[in-house]
Amino acid sequence: VIDFFVEPASTYTYLAACRIGALAAGIPVRWRPFALGPIFAAQGFRDSPFNLFPAKGAYMWHDLAREAAALGLPFRKPSVFPRNSTAAAKLAFVGLAEGWGEDFLVRVCRANFADDRDIAAPDVLDDLVRDAGADPTAARARLPEFATQLRETTAAAQALGVVGAPTFVVGGELFWGNDRLERAIAAARR
């Protein structure tokens, strides 16, 4: 089993979210939306390190575009970064319980990093819930059932030693970054 820690606001999570379905065929993957904000805050960062350290950010945007192109994935640099992903992650927990959560999360990542849509906006999220085949009003009505999930999953990630996204966890072992997806899958197949 692979635990896939997904942060919809995270750049390289977009690539991994698009890839993991095909690559991990036959392996159970548990998608676990979490929030990087508290994990960065624990390191003393009040913003994405890619914003706090502009040279690192400049490199990352170039690398992300290059990796997306190599993977044949559409990419457009978002006009706002990072976007607040709390509402998206909370809706995703509803979707994961109902079977449309993975598709929704891929759509959220794509909206953010390929279409430059505001994934913090309720109307955008409603569109994406509908695109994933569900009813946004019904999904929102179930949010209270999942009220603690995002906080708990973020705490679980932190306890496991997660420092960034995406992170894959196989038998307690961490694999950080889209670049480590293949190794995580190989570990899960052993």
Binding residues for a second copy (CB under 8 A)? 42-43, 53, 55-56, 58-59, 62-63, 66, 70, 161, 163-164, 173-176, 179-180, 183
- The nearer residue to a second copy, 141 or 186, going by C-beta atoms, is 186
Asked if 90 and 143 count as a contact pair (C-beta separation under 8 A), the reply is: yes
d(CA 66, CA 72): 10
Amino acid in position 113: F
3-state secondary structure of 119: coil
Closest CB to a second copy among residues 126, 164: 164
Helix (H, G, I), strand (E, B) or coil at 33: strand
Q: Which is nearer to a second copy, 122 or 161 (CB)?
A: 161
Provide the minimum distance between the beta carbon of 144 and a second copy in the complex, in angstroms, as a whole number.
32
Smallest separation, CB 176 to a second copy (Å): 6
Closer residue to a second copy in complex, CB, 53/81: 53
- What is the rounded distance in angstroms from the CA atom of residue 114 to the CA atom of residue 29? 24
Cβ at position 45, least distance to a second copy in Å:
9
Name the minimum Å distance from CB 187 to a second copy. Answer: 9
CA distances from residue 177 to 16, 77, 103, 145 in whole angstroms, order as listed? 8, 19, 20, 31
